[in-house]
Protein backbone atom coordinates (compact mmCIF):
# COMPACT_ATOMS: atom_id res chain seq x y z
CA UNK A 1 0.00 0.00 0.00
CA UNK A 2 2.82 2.42 0.69
CA UNK A 3 4.03 2.03 -2.86
CA UNK A 4 0.64 3.20 -4.14
CA UNK A 5 0.95 6.36 -2.04
CA UNK A 6 4.40 7.09 -3.42
CA UNK A 7 3.18 6.68 -6.99
CA UNK A 8 0.25 8.90 -6.25
CA UNK A 9 2.51 11.58 -4.74
CA UNK A 10 4.87 11.34 -7.72
CA UNK A 11 1.95 11.65 -10.12
CA UNK A 12 0.73 14.72 -8.25
CA UNK A 13 4.21 16.32 -8.39
CA UNK A 14 4.36 15.65 -12.15
CA UNK A 15 0.91 17.17 -12.64
CA UNK A 16 1.89 20.22 -10.58
CA UNK A 17 5.08 20.64 -12.63
CA UNK A 18 3.12 20.39 -15.92
CA UNK A 19 0.66 23.00 -14.65
CA UNK A 20 3.51 25.38 -13.74
CA UNK A 21 5.11 24.82 -17.16
CA UNK A 22 1.82 25.39 -19.00
CA UNK A 23 1.10 28.62 -17.11
CA UNK A 24 4.64 30.01 -17.46
CA UNK A 25 5.44 32.54 -20.17
CA UNK A 26 7.03 31.07 -23.28
CA UNK A 27 10.79 31.34 -23.66
CA UNK A 28 10.48 32.55 -27.26
CA UNK A 29 8.38 35.48 -26.09
CA UNK A 30 10.64 36.34 -23.14
CA UNK A 31 13.86 36.21 -25.20
CA UNK A 32 12.80 36.53 -28.86
CA UNK A 33 16.41 36.67 -30.12
CA UNK A 34 17.23 33.25 -28.64
CA UNK A 35 17.84 30.59 -31.31
CA UNK A 36 19.12 27.67 -29.26
CA UNK A 37 19.86 26.69 -25.68
CA UNK A 38 21.77 23.65 -24.41
CA UNK A 39 22.65 22.56 -20.89
CA UNK A 40 25.33 20.16 -19.66
CA UNK A 41 24.06 18.98 -16.28
CA UNK A 42 25.85 17.13 -13.52
CA UNK A 43 24.52 16.36 -10.06
CA UNK A 44 26.71 15.48 -7.08
CA UNK A 45 25.99 14.50 -3.52
CA UNK A 46 27.83 16.50 -0.85
CA UNK A 47 27.97 13.28 1.18
CA UNK A 48 29.80 11.35 -1.55
CA UNK A 49 32.59 12.06 -4.00
CA UNK A 50 30.74 10.05 -6.66
CA UNK A 51 28.73 12.09 -9.14
CA UNK A 52 26.05 11.17 -11.61
CA UNK A 53 27.18 11.16 -15.24
CA UNK A 54 26.82 14.46 -17.05
CA UNK A 55 23.97 14.69 -19.48
CA UNK A 56 22.96 17.18 -22.14
CA UNK A 57 19.54 18.79 -22.21
CA UNK A 58 18.56 20.66 -25.36
CA UNK A 59 15.74 23.16 -25.06
CA UNK A 60 13.21 23.51 -27.88
CA UNK A 61 13.09 27.30 -27.74
CA UNK A 62 9.94 27.65 -29.88
CA UNK A 63 7.81 25.65 -27.41
CA UNK A 64 9.65 25.83 -24.09
CA UNK A 65 8.34 27.60 -21.02
CA UNK A 66 10.59 30.24 -19.46
CA UNK A 67 10.84 27.93 -16.47
CA UNK A 68 13.84 25.77 -15.65
CA UNK A 69 12.93 23.12 -13.08
CA UNK A 70 15.20 20.09 -12.87
CA UNK A 71 14.12 17.20 -10.66
CA UNK A 72 16.48 15.82 -8.02
CA UNK A 73 18.35 12.75 -9.22
CA UNK A 74 17.80 10.86 -5.95
CA UNK A 75 14.63 8.77 -6.27
CA UNK A 76 14.24 8.84 -2.46
CA UNK A 77 14.26 12.64 -2.28
CA UNK A 78 10.93 14.12 -1.19
CA UNK A 79 9.86 17.59 -2.34
CA UNK A 80 13.27 18.27 -3.87
CA UNK A 81 14.56 19.51 -7.14
CA UNK A 82 16.36 22.46 -8.61
CA UNK A 83 14.76 25.69 -9.80
CA UNK A 84 17.41 27.54 -11.80
CA UNK A 85 14.93 29.80 -13.60
CA UNK A 86 16.17 33.09 -12.15
CA UNK A 87 19.85 32.46 -12.97
CA UNK A 88 19.09 31.19 -16.48
CA UNK A 89 16.68 33.98 -17.39
CA UNK A 90 19.06 36.62 -16.03
CA UNK A 91 21.82 35.27 -18.31
CA UNK A 92 19.50 34.99 -21.31
CA UNK A 93 18.19 38.56 -20.89
CA UNK A 94 21.83 39.70 -20.83
CA UNK A 95 22.42 37.71 -24.06
CA UNK A 96 25.23 35.70 -22.52
CA UNK A 97 26.36 32.92 -24.84
CA UNK A 98 27.95 30.82 -22.11
CA UNK A 99 27.07 30.68 -18.44
CA UNK A 100 27.14 28.26 -15.55
CA UNK A 101 25.47 27.81 -12.20
CA UNK A 102 24.83 25.53 -9.27
CA UNK A 103 21.84 24.82 -7.08
CA UNK A 104 21.38 22.87 -3.84
CA UNK A 105 18.43 20.51 -3.66
CA UNK A 106 15.78 21.71 -1.20
CA UNK A 107 14.29 18.25 -0.58
CA UNK A 108 14.68 15.74 2.19
CA UNK A 109 15.66 12.11 2.61
CA UNK A 110 13.56 11.02 5.56
CA UNK A 111 14.54 13.35 8.40
CA UNK A 112 17.77 14.53 6.75
CA UNK A 113 18.17 17.24 4.13
CA UNK A 114 19.03 16.10 0.63
CA UNK A 115 22.67 16.86 -0.05
CA UNK A 116 22.61 16.85 -3.85
CA UNK A 117 24.02 19.81 -5.74
CA UNK A 118 23.27 20.40 -9.41
CA UNK A 119 25.93 22.04 -11.60
CA UNK A 120 25.14 23.23 -15.11
CA UNK A 121 26.98 24.79 -18.01
CA UNK A 122 24.80 26.40 -20.65
CA UNK A 123 25.41 27.53 -24.21
CA UNK A 124 22.98 29.92 -25.89
CA UNK A 125 22.88 31.18 -29.44
CA UNK A 126 21.11 34.40 -30.47
CA UNK A 127 20.07 36.03 -33.72
CA UNK A 128 22.55 38.60 -34.96
CA UNK A 129 21.33 42.14 -34.31
DSSP secondary structure string, 16-78? Answer: HHHHHHHHSPBHHHHSTTEEEEEEEEEEEETT-S-BPPPEEEEE-TTT-BS--EE--S-TT-B
Of 52 and 18, the one with more pLDDT: 18
Give the pLDDT mean for 1-7.
50
- Residue 111 DSSP SS3: coil
Domain count, the chain: 1
Does position 13 have pLDDT exceeding 60, yes or no? Answer: yes
Res 21: pLDDT: 82
State the residue range of the domain holding 106. Answer: 2-126
**Could you tell me which of 95, 103, 24, 30 has the C-alpha nearest to residue 71?**
103
d(C-alpha 67, C-alpha 54), whole Å: 21
Q: Which residues contact 6 (CB under 8 A, 6 or more apart)?
A: none
Give the pLDDT mean for 116-121.
94
Does position 22 have pLDDT exceeding 90, yes or no? Answer: no
Res 52: pLDDT: 63
DSSP annotation of 81 reads -
- Cβ atoms within 10 Å of 87's Cβ, excluding its own: 17
Highest-confidence segment of 6-10, 40-44, 45-49, 71-75: 40-44
Does position 127 have pLDDT exceeding 80, yes or no? Answer: yes
Mean pLDDT for the chain overall: 87
Amino acid sequence: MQRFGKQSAAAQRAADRRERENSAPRLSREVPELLSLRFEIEEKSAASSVSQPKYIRRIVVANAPALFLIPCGDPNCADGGHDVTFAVMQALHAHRTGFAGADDCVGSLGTAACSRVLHFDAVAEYQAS
